[in-house]
Structure 1
Amino acid sequence: MKITRVETFALPPRWLFCRIETDDGTVGWGEPVVEGRAATVRTAVHELAEYLIGQDPLRVEDHWQVMSKGSFYRGGPVLSSAVAGLDQALWDIVGKALGAPVHVLLGGPVRERVRAYSWVGGDEPAEITDAVAAQVEAGFTAVKMNASGRMNRLATRADVDLVVERAAAAREVLGPDRDFAVDFHGRFNVANAGRVLPELAPLHPLFVEEPVLPEYTHRLADVVAASPVPIATGERLFSRTDALPALQAGIAVLQPDLSHAGGISEVRRMASLAETFDVLLAPHCPLGPISLAASLQVAFATPNFLIQEQSIGIHYNDGAEVLDYVVDPEVFRFDAGHIRRPLAPGLGIEVDEKAVRRADGKAPDWHNPVWRHADGSFAEW
């Protein structure tokens, strides 16, 4: 079996898919993308494809090593995301060739269903009560919300009160038996996190995500030490090496993204590393169906898995939805906020290739907004 073709597809709302085909007609799918840098990642995928053409697709680990380390300059979100999508597609081919789901090839299932959460509130949280109530009505047992919109460099009393009020509104709807997580989105600094986290503690968030920017991971231990709330981070950490300082800082939950952090191969290793620190895995996934499918394959084979993010209905999905590109949406059907173990080979989904080819090239040139403080200076989004 040899790889004969690698294709990419830019699709609404802001996704990039890749397709690897072999000489016996086996096809594997992946989702390599950096949100806001899809075109750059697409170029990187095709550069790596030059190496893959003519290779045996079953040598996944060797290909991961070459794609990740074969260039003198390595790492970073663009390369690791390109590798991630190609790695997903290679695992998909291996599973299909052997007639087994990827999680079986990773050692077999350790659970029969995976708990998932839904997003509420948007980039600037609003109407939290109604949004949370809708997810409870849909059967979800957990939601995640942004803590705030633009955050002042040093939070005012009013800033802190708004964060706590939104969280309190969510808790009021959820009651004591459901969970909510709060995403700080790197909008806070160490001082602001120190002010807000103790005030959130009585509301018992499941975790607080990315309380500070990844470039300040050397201060993360200070945040953890001051926080009575479990701390999560990892969507902007792209390897075991990137994740190690966060694990050493004492985080409770690691959140690598299967479309950013080197794919199934590297996230599986990151999960094992996290387990040695008694840290749980909650894969980041605000993307499309292939990224979600890959995340689930890791989740079903990972003992220290906690909960899965998924983007059905998320505020970023304008012009297309997760289920638009799969033949059988039942694979992602939620039952009491959980997804059942997929049994189909490979990634466990059948991509609707006709829908993908129709949508190719129609993706908007999506970039995240640029926010500014009241004085006109740059503010973290």
Structure 2
Amino acid sequence: MKIERIETFLVAPRWLLCRIETDTGLVGWGEPSLEGRARTVQTAVEELRPLLIGRDPSRIEDLWIHMTRGTFYRGGPILSSAVAGIDQALWDIKGKMHGVPVHELFGGPVRDRVRYYSWVGGDEPAEIADAVREQVEKGSTAIKMNAIGRTRAISTNAELDSVVARAEEARSALGREGDFAIDFHGRMSIVDSRRMIPRLAETGPLFIEEPVVPEQTHLLPQLTNLGVPIATGERLFSRQDFLPAFEAGISVAQPDISHAGGISEVARITTMAEVWGVHVAPHCPLGPIALASSLQIAFAKHNFLIQEISAGIHYNKGADLLDYLVDTSVFTTENGAIPRLTSPGLGIEIDEAAVRAADKAEFEWISPTWRDDDGAFAEW
């Protein structure tokens, strides 16, 4: 069997999908998405094509090494996202070759269902409470919300009070049995994160995500002993990138399977995390292929914690999580969890006609740019 054809598709809301076809007609799908840089990643996939055409798709490890090391300049989110989507498609093909879901190729499932969390929005405490109750009514047992919008280097007491008030409302709506996580999104300075985390500890968040931007990972030791589990990793793209975060004492690693080298590398990161007593909660505000790929890791690795899903997320305009699937029941949720995927490969069937039609429509998603009140750049 040999790789014969590689195609990419830009589809709403902001996803890049990848289709790999073999000379036997077997097809695998991947999602090399990188939010706001989809066209750049599309070019990177094209540049990797000569390394893949005519090669045996079952030699995933060898192909992965060639894609990541077969160039003098290595790493970075563009290349690792391109490799990630291709890697997902290769695992999809391999699972279909053997007639088993991908997690069976990693030694079989360690769990029968995967707990998930949903996103909620709202700038006011009452809005948060209403949004949380809506998700609970839909069956969620865990949610995640942003801590704050645009912020300055040192926030006012009123701004910090509003974060605590929103967290308290989330806790009230969930009760003691539910969980909520708070995403700082790298917006807060290290100063504000040190001030904020102890105040949030009393509300009992599951974790606080990205309390500093990834280039300040060396500052994380100032935050990991303040009484709340610290999570990070959506902007870390390799085992090497994660090592300083593990050494800093994070509790939860959040590799993105469409950014961090695909199933192959996220599996390695997850195994590496066990050495540090760290659990994994894959970042996934993306499409169905990324979710299915993340779930394969979740079913195969014991130190998995919880899975992000993008259904109804505020980024999904023009298409949502289930819109490119033939059978949407694969992601049916039960009591806050997704039952184990059992179909071969990634466990989903992509609606190819819908993907090809969506690729013909024009769309553009650009990361928002924020400015402070004085006109200076502010982290989004």
What is the TM-score when the length of structure 1 is the normalising length? 0.98
Work out whether 1:63 is the aligned partner of 2:59: no
Per-residue CA deviations over 1:16-40 (Å, capped at 9, x if unaligned) read 0000000000000000011000000
Q: Which residue of 1 aligns with 2:121?
A: 121
Per-residue CA deviations over 1:191-215 (Å, capped at 9, x if unaligned) read 1000000000000000000000000
Q: Indicate conservation of the 8 Å contact 1:125/1:148, yes or no.
A: no
Q: Indicate conservation of the 8 Å contact 1:124/1:146, yes or no.
A: no
CA RMSD between the two structures: 1.1
Secondary structure at the residue paired with 1:7?
strand
Corresponding letter in the other structure for 1:332: F
Q: Indicate conservation of the 8 Å contact 1:122/1:315, yes or no.
A: no
Q: Indicate conservation of the 8 Å contact 1:124/1:149, yes or no.
A: no
Per-residue CA deviations over 1:87-116 (Å, capped at 9, x if unaligned) read 000000000011110000011100000000
Moved more, 119-128 or 234-243: 119-128
Per-residue CA deviations over 1:274-312 (Å, capped at 9, x if unaligned) read 000000000000000000000000000011000000100
Matches within 5 A, 1:1-381: 1-121=1-121, 127-225=127-225, 227-362=226-361, 364-381=363-380
Q: What is the distance in 2 between the residues matched to 1:244 and 1:77?
A: 17
Corresponding letter in the other structure for 2:208: V
Per-residue CA deviations over 1:310-355 (Å, capped at 9, x if unaligned) read 1000000000011010100110001111000011000000000011
Secondary structure at the residue paired with 1:13?
coil
Q: What is the distance in 1 between the residues matched to 2:126 and 2:105?
A: 43
Q: Indicate conservation of the 8 Å contact 2:217/2:244, yes or no.
A: yes
Deviation at 1:362, TM superposition (A): 2.2
Corresponding letter in the other structure for 1:177: E
Corresponding letter in the other structure for 1:14: R
Change (3 A) 1:80 1:123: farther
Q: What is the distance in 1 between the residues matched to 2:290 and 2:99?
A: 21
Per-residue CA deviations over 1:14-70 (Å, capped at 9, x if unaligned) read 000000000000000000011000000000011111210000000000000010111
Secondary structure at the residue paired with 1:32?
coil
Deviation at 1:126, TM superposition (A): 7.7
Change (3 A) 1:123 1:271: farther
Corresponding letter in the other structure for 2:331: F
Deviation at 1:363, TM superposition (A): 5.1
Per-residue CA deviations over 1:151-187 (Å, capped at 9, x if unaligned) read 1110110111011011111111000000000000000
Secondary structure at the residue paired with 1:114?
strand
Q: What is the distance in 2 between the residues matched to 1:178 and 1:52?
A: 46
- Unmatched runs of 5 consecutive residues or more in structure 1: none
Corresponding letter in the other structure for 1:315: H
Moved more, 123-132 or 108-117: 123-132
Q: What is the distance in 2 between the residues matched to 1:240 and 1:54?
A: 29
Residue correspondences, number: 380
Q: Indicate conservation of the 8 Å contact 1:256/1:282, yes or no.
A: yes
Corresponding letter in the other structure for 1:139: G
Change (3 A) 1:123 1:10: farther
Corresponding letter in the other structure for 1:84: A
Deviation at 1:361, TM superposition (A): 3.5
- Unmatched runs of 5 consecutive residues or more in structure 2: none
Deviation at 1:127, TM superposition (A): 1.4
Secondary structure at the residue paired with 2:258?
coil
Change (3 A) 1:125 1:203: closer
Secondary structure at the residue paired with 1:224?
coil
Change (3 A) 1:223 1:361: farther
Change (3 A) 1:125 1:236: farther
Q: What is the distance in 2 between the residues matched to 1:195 and 1:124?
A: 21
Q: Indicate conservation of the 8 Å contact 1:14/1:363, yes or no.
A: no
Q: What is the distance in 2 between the residues matched to 1:330 and 1:68?
A: 35
Secondary structure at the residue paired with 1:203?
coil
Q: Indicate conservation of the 8 Å contact 1:30/1:89, yes or no.
A: yes
Per-residue CA deviations over 1:230-261 (Å, capped at 9, x if unaligned) read 00000000000000000000000000000000
Q: What is the distance in 2 between the residues matched to 1:203 and 1:335?
A: 26
Q: Indicate conservation of the 8 Å contact 1:125/1:146, yes or no.
A: no
User: Identity of paired residues, percent?
Assistant: 64
Per-residue CA deviations over 1:112-141 (Å, capped at 9, x if unaligned) read 000000000069998111110100000110
Change (3 A) 1:18 1:280: same
Q: What is the distance in 2 between the residues matched to 1:183 and 1:124?
A: 16
